[in-house]
């Protein structure tokens, strides 16, 4: 399922995924970690473990040791994980559709720059799709803010994740971290021929509006060699925009609460385990239909960061597939049906029976605190507004258009 990660890259030891030789020692360390064992117990046996998690540790350790028996490499680990991902998709996804794979060549490495809706599942869907279509799996960028526990870092790095330093605050330290990250991504794609996944912005687009942070492209370009042009750098970097859309967002109520409080109070303080809760809910919650779209690699005739950002935004927006859920939310706000295509087949929403989606959205709203309902509807509707704006711009005479996601 993966290509072994090269060892001996001391420059990146604090951020890179684990090498094959580190896999078994890491597993043994996890099996001795009481906090990790208690966390697994709470996930598997939430009621019992609430009262007697320490008593369950030997049982959990024994079960995990059996499951991890014979796992000696990153590929072994990912093969064990694969069956759980398969079961997860069977349980939470009605249909996964894919487009744009014809833009990619097996055996060639890419830096996938993706819109970001779910912490764990966005890269998981890309990983799953690549693996089952003959491509190597990803090295996944993950913020150190999500790795508050040592066992979390171990698990992520076993699964080919690398660490993005978001805790640095001083300008010099932030610049140093950005340069190292850029160098590592460049090394992965160019030297190791390894695929990379990174979000188009720090944090999820909780409001449903996807927009690339120019700092991401600027960071990637830090590894540009002089006197290499920006276009030549893009040719080597193989940057591919990726769009992912979910019919239903398991974290919609969480996001609606956060955005409502942020709008009301001007700030929002995350709880200590809030990201962990979002990860768990995003993984286990029902998603319905999911579409994953790969764009074309950025071309060498792009002049600078601003143009690259515009093209990434345009690609992510144009390839983004709306779902019926988005359109029924739009109807709730505008009291009319949007004239947009939905689903992988691109059928006009006005030609579809949306009664079931209307019922499902109403059920989700009724289970949500009344204070957050208006924002939840807006989260689902925003991609429709963005798509309609893009249609409007496309119909206008050629000119200096901003990408719809920035409008």
Q: Residue 41 — pLDDT band, cuts 50, 70, 90?
A: confident
Segment 302-314 shows an average pLDDT of 96
Residue 59's SS3 state is helix
Segment 242-264 shows an average pLDDT of 97
Q: Strand pairing partners for 164?
A: 143
pLDDT at position 384 is 98
Q: Which two tokens stand for residue 49?
A: 């473990």
Residue 228's SS3 state is coil
The sign of the CA dihedral 194, 197, 202, 203 is negative
pLDDT digits (tens, 9 = 90+) for 335-348: 999 999 999 999 99
Q: Residue 49 — pLDDT band, cuts 50, 70, 90?
A: low
Judge contact between 113 and 198, C-beta under 8 A.
yes
With a cut of 80, say whether residue 120 has pLDDT above it: yes
Judge contact between 116 and 175, C-beta under 8 A.
no
Checking DSSP bridges between strand 239-246 and strand 288-294, what pairing results, if any? antiparallel
Q: Residue 201 — pLDDT band, cuts 50, 70, 90?
A: very high
pLDDT at position 100 is 98
Segment 213-222 shows an average pLDDT of 96
First to last CA, the chain: 41
Q: Determine what percent of the chain is predicted with pLDDT higher than 90.
A: 79
Segment 205-222 shows an average pLDDT of 97
Residues 354 and 244: their CA atoms lie apart, in Å, by 22
What mean pLDDT, rounded, does the chain reach?
91
pLDDT at position 226 is 81
Q: Residue 404 — pLDDT band, cuts 50, 70, 90?
A: very low
Q: Identify which has the larger pLDDT, 102 or 271.
A: 102
Residues 97 and 117: their CA atoms lie apart, in Å, by 17
Checking DSSP bridges between strand 93-99 and strand 347-348, what pairing results, if any? unpaired
Judge contact between 358 and 230, C-beta under 8 A.
no
With a cut of 80, say whether residue 144 has pLDDT above it: yes
Residues 18 and 156: their CA atoms lie apart, in Å, by 9
pLDDT at position 267 is 93
The order of strands in the sheet holding 138-143 is 93-99, 288-294, 239-246, 111-114, 195-199, 138-143, 161-164
pLDDT digits (tens, 9 = 90+) for 359-392: 999 999 999 999 999 999 999 999 999 999 988 8
Q: What is the DSSP letter of 101?
A: G
- Our separate counts of H helices and E strands in the chain read 15, 9
Q: Residue 156 — pLDDT band, cuts 50, 70, 90?
A: very high
Phi, psi of 209 (to 5 degrees): -110, 115
Q: Residue 399 — pLDDT band, cuts 50, 70, 90?
A: low
pLDDT at position 7 is 45
């Amino acid at each position: 399922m993966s290509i072994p990660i090269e060892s001996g890259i001391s420059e990146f030891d604090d951020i890179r995924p684990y090498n094959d030789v580190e896999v078994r020692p890491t597993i043994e360390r996890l099996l001795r970690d009481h906090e990790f064992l208690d966390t697994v117990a709470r996930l598997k046996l939430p009621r019992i473990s609430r009262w007697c998690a320490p008593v369950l540790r030997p049982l959990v350790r024994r079960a995990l040791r059996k499951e991890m028996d014979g796992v000696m490499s990153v590929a072994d680990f990912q093969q064990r994980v694969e069956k759980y991902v398969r079961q997860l998709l069977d349980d939470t996804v009605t249909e996964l559709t894919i487009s744009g794979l014809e833009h990619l060549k097996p055996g060639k490495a890419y830096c996938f720059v993706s819109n970001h809706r779910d912490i764990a599942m966005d890269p998981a869907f890309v990983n799953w799709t690549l693996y089952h279509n003959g491509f190597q799996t990803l090295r996944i960028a993950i913020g150190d803010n999500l790795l508050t526990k040592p066992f979390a870092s171990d698990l992520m790095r076993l699964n080919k994740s690398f660490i993005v330093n978001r805790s640095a605050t001083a300008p010099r330290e932030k610049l140093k971290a950005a340069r190292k990250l850029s160098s590592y991504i460049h090394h992965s794609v160019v030297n190791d021929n390894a695929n990379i996944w990174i979000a188009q912005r720090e944090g999820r687009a909780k409001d449903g509006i996807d927009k690339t942070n120019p700092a991401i492209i600027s960071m990637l370009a830090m590894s540009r060699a002089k006197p290499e042009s920006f276009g030549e750098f893009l040719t080597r970097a193989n940057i591919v925009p990726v769009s992912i859309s979910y019919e239903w967002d398991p974290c919609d109520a969480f996001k609606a609460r956060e955005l409502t409080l942020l709008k009301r109070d001007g700030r929002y303080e995350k709880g200590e385990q809030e990201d962990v809760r979002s990860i768990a809910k995003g993984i286990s919650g029902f998603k319905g239909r999911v579409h994953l779209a790969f764009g074309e690699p950025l071309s060498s005739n792009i002049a600078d960061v601003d143009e690259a950002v515009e093209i990434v935004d345009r690609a992510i927006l144009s390839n983004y597939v709306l779902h019926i859920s988005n359109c029924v939310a739009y109807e709730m706000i505008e009291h009319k049906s949007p004239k947009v295509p939905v689903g992988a087949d691109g059928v006009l929403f006005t030609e579809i029976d949306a009664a079931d989606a209307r019922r499902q959205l109403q059920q989700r709203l009724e289970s949500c605190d009344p204070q957050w309902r208006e924002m939840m509807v807006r989260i689902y509707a925003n991609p429709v507004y963005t798509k309609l704006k893009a249609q409007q711009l496309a119909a206008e005479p050629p000119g200096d258009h901003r990408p719809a996601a920035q409008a």
